[in-house]
């Protein structure tokens, strides 16, 4: 499928037929969508700047809390409001509680009142 036959207009980062992110241009003459085989001439990408950004957790963003029963809770601190005390900032960790084809469970612990909740994804 060639660019002239497209039903939609889109940014060059996305396939105008199915919306899939297009692979980066390489040495080939065409950039081809891996999902629907739509192709765009590689010269259409001339002058386009590709930027990427990787964000890492801040140093010291992993908190360690000791619960009343002596259990240690360790994990990254996120901006999440505690539903019990309203404190902004909860520690979380994840576990695969169900079968592998289902989402993981996220456990949140408040840094102030130690309230715990879980969220199935």
pTM strictly above 0.85: no
Chain segment 11-26, per-residue pLDDT in tens: 778 888 888 888 888 8
Contact 77, 61 (CB under 8 A): yes
The segment(s) of the chain belonging to CATH 2.20.25.10 are: 77-120
Greater confidence, 109 or 10?
Answer: 109
CA distances for 114 relative to 5, 67, 72, 91, angstroms? 58, 7, 11, 10
The CATH architecture of the domain made up of 77-120 is: Single Sheet (2.20)
> 63, exposed or middle or buried, with CB in 10 Å at 0-12, 13-18, 19+?
middle
- pLDDT of 8 above 70: no
Greater confidence, 68 or 13?
Answer: 13
pLDDT number for residue 59: 63
Residues forming a β-bridge with 41: 30
- pLDDT of 92 above 80: yes
Annotated binding site for Zn(2+): 15, 18, 33, 36, 82, 85, 110, 113
Instruction: Report the alpha-carbon distance of residue 63 to residue 74 in Å, rounded.
Output: 6
Annotated binding site: 15, 18, 33, 36, 82, 85, 110, 113
Instruction: Report the alpha-carbon distance of residue 3 to residue 11 in Å, rounded.
Output: 12
């Amino acid at each position: 499928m060639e660019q002239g036959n497209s039903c939609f207009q889109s940014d060059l980062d996305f396939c105008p037929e199915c919306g899939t992110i297009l692979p980066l241009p390489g040495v080939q003459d065409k950039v081809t969508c891996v999902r629907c085989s739509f192709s765009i001439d590689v010269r259409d990408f001339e002058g386009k700047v590709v930027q990427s950004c990787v964000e890492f957790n801040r140093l010291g963003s992993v908190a360690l809390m000791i619960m009343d029963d002596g259990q240690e809770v360790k994990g990254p601190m996120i901006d999440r409001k505690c539903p019990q005390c309203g404190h902004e900032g909860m520690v979380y960790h994840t576990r695969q509680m169900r079968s592998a084809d289902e989402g993981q469970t996220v456990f949140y612990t408040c840094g102030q009142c130690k309230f715990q909740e879980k969220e199935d994804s």
